[in-house]
Structure 1
Amino acid sequence: MCGRYTLTVTLEELMLRYWIEEARFPFHQPKYNVAPGQQVFAVIHDGTKRRLGQLKWGLVPPWADDPKIGFKMINARAETAAAKPAFAEPIRRKRCLIPADGFYEWKKQGNGKQPMRIALRDRAVFSFAGLYEIWEAPDGSRISSCTILTTEPNSLMSPIHDRMPVILDPADEPLWLERRPLDTGELNRIFKPYDADKLEAYPVTPAVGKADFDSPECIKPYRQDEQLELF
């Protein structure tokens, strides 16, 4: 699964990376510990151009009685998403890019777990394959939400976890944003595990387990003999 990630670049860098002409956000504060339920950046194509906006992480289907269901839908298995009621329509026509520059996963170690940060070796921004949906409450209020697709792990991730997020090859990003159903061949290529040689994993502070701990300390390499002072 993918339950935490990072996006530490500036808004200007995001706009340049995704060819965004304008954004409605006055600023973007670097995020070192993005958690489910938070508003996250996403890129969609509106039929004319790319747009950068914010979606709540945890997809809420239009038919849901309670938006809290979103906390159970932060991820969707790429292999079965098209057959699931919550994801069938989004995977056909409501696909998005979710920018990140790293993500966290917890590796079993002895009697505990060591959080690891996984990032591109060159530390560049990359895109998770995301799906989005819009839920409307009886009073007319709306929640725009998203989920991150996951796939089988590559050789780097398999010792850490049995799943990993779908990371898009930059060349496939325009295809993923197209507003049409993709065929099986296109989806299978996109959903394959990302090249392990382009990724790096390293241990980080256990403090990333706290969703409200959002600090540059989150992404620093960590030794078990170190102790982070939180206060």
Structure 2
Amino acid sequence: MCGRVSQDSQSDYFSYIGWQNPFDYARSPNRPPGTHPLVLHRISDGAQHADTLHWGYLPPWPGYKRGPASNARLDTVLGKSPFWRPLLGRRIIMPCDGWYEWTGPKGDRQPWYISPKDGAPLLMAGIAAWEPGKEADERHGFAIITDAAAGGLVDLHDRRPMCLTLEDAYHWMDPTLEVDYALDLLTTARPESAFQWWEVTRKVGNSRYQGEDATKPIA
């Protein structure tokens, strides 16, 4: 699962991916779904764009009673389920420093912070209902694609976000790339061995907590 991320180093994202005209947005070491994180995309005209879009997608289906979906399971995306099929042509990247998971029983949950060992930004693959001219609301939101976790990450959570290499992220955002070829990129996401993780302050359990120690290891 990917239910909380750190987006706290805006200048690094743009220089890392080679994006032009850095986009000013509010940094956050503890950003949850339902907010408007920075995303990179080439939707519509193929040019390089940065926007703050709604994290979470609420489909326009009559009678749909569940809340907005912030994650899209890889198996359902690859199966082109009717829930996600309309979004597959609008592919985005959510850059971030890392994400959080929790372990332990209800009422005594310990947060962990997961980040890349090489210190480079993470490029999480996502799909969006948004397009130019639409409101950045839940009806036009986005979801991060997740897959089953493996290796040591499985001890933290049984799912993990699909984090692409820099080259694959470029291809993922290419609007001219056919959907089937784009989905093939999801089979080569960065492996569990590329990440490190540690326990962090329980204050991050409150999504409003924005302290400088949010991602720091606790003693």
TM-score bucket (shorter structure): 0.7 to 0.9
Report what 1:159 is aligned to: 155
Report what 1:226 is aligned to: none
Shift of 1:154: 2.3
Report what 1:229 is aligned to: none
Report what 1:101 is aligned to: 97
1:162–1:177 Cα change, 3 Å: same
2:114 paired with 1:90: no
Report what 1:13 is aligned to: 12
Is there any run of 5+ residues in structure 1 with no aligned partner, and where?
224-231
When Rg is computed on C-alpha atoms for both structures, the one with the higher figure is 1
Is there any run of 5+ residues in structure 2 with no aligned partner, and where?
none
2:14 paired with 1:34: no
Q: Percent of counterpart pairs with the same letter?
A: 23
1:170–1:141 Cα change, 3 Å: closer
2:191 paired with 1:195: yes
TM-score (norm 2): 0.85
TM-score (norm 1): 0.81
Query: Higher relative contact order at CA 8 Å, sep ≥6: structure 1 or structure 2?
Result: 2
- Could you list the runs of 4 or more consecutive aligned residues of structure 1 that deviate by over 3 angstroms after TM superposition? 64-69, 109-112
- Within the candidate set 191, 194, 210, 2:206 is matched to 210
Shift of 1:90: 1.1
Alignment check: 8 A CA contact 1:203 1:221 kept = yes
Distance 1:113 1:127 in 2: 27
**When you count strand as a share of all residues, which structure comes out higher?**
1
Report what 2:144 is aligned to: 148
Amino acid aligned to 2:46: T
Give the superposed CA RMSD. 2.7
Report what 2:118 is aligned to: 122
Query: What SS class does the counterpart of residue 141 from structure 2 fall into?
Result: strand
Amino acid aligned to 1:172: D
2:127 paired with 1:131: yes
Comparing 13-22 and 29-38, the one that deviates more: 13-22
